[in-house]
Amino acid sequence: MSKYYYLISSLPELFFETGNSKHLDFLHIRDYILENISDSDAVYVHDLLNCIDNYNLIAVMYGKNRAWKEGGMTDIRSINSTDRSALPEYMRDFLEYTDGYKAENKTYPDEHAAEKYLSELYYGKMENSGNAFIAKWFKFDREMKNVQAAYLSRKTGAPAENYMVKKDDITEFLLKNTSPDFGLSRERNYMPDLFQALETGNLLERENRLDMLRWKQIDEINVMEYFSLDVALGILQKACIADRWMALDSEEGKRLFRKTVDELVESKKVKTV
């Protein structure tokens, strides 16, 4: 495994303090990492940041009024091209799936179903990655989102399985266990903190606590890593989180977040304060 002594020592040390990331330049950190690692390792940076491309892809396909997310690694405009060879394999599989609807003169599956299928393809690839950080991070991220889906299901009555990505031992707990913590507090050490965060009434504060948990998990995954690619990937993922809060700290970011919250409350009747 390659060691990147100069790169790691020259990357900024990031701290999870919302409102204190004014000088963070996520794109600069991404590009700096890419300039200083091997081509074979750069593949994993692309993998990590394809989550941004997934968001933009759904926005383009469904004409959603979403703010375009910067920092992705794929030219989403090429989805309408006959040559899709530059796209990640999972994305090509997804587009082949939606092309099938066009060929049969059917409308696309609804946005939620399409996004769920895209996520299952993406997480399936990431959790089988040859890079340890990528595999562990996306397993954690998927489990965390599935717990959130099950928690909201209890609050709203929406079928939890419709919002979960991939089935595994954790989803079995989420679908069958009726205890307040779904019987998961002994299964994963982060579960108690996750459920405390989910019980937070204020949605902005809830998001803050959830991202703090993500931040801590990055440190746990890389606790025994020094000067490796995994450390660089962890810093890049932290920069993604910090960049999101930098946007939310702006007035426009707060307005967009409030709009999203209002739409969520209206559609799901989620309690907020």
Cα first-last separation, the chain:
49
pLDDT digits (tens, 9 = 90+) for 212-268: 999 999 999 999 999 999 999 999 999 999 988 877 665 544 554 455 555 445 544
Token pair, residue 220, equals: 């746990």
Task: Identify the sign of the CA torsion 185, 191, 193, 199.
Answer: negative
Q: What is the pLDDT of residue 254?
A: 52
Q: Stretch 161-167: mean pLDDT, rounded?
A: 88
104-to-96, 110, 138, 268 alpha-carbon distances in Å? 13, 16, 34, 33
Token pair recorded at residue 13: 């040390």
Pick the more confident residue, 251 or 148: 148
Q: In the chain, how long is the greatest CA-to-CA distance?
A: 55
pLDDT band at 162 (very low <50, low <70, confident <90, very high): confident
pLDDT category, 50, cuts 50, 70, 90?
A: very high
CA dist., res. 92 & res. 125, Å (int): 13
Enter the pTM of the model: 0.86
Give me the residue spans of the domains in the chain: 5-268
Enumerate residues 6+ apart whose C-beta is below 8 A from 119.
54, 165
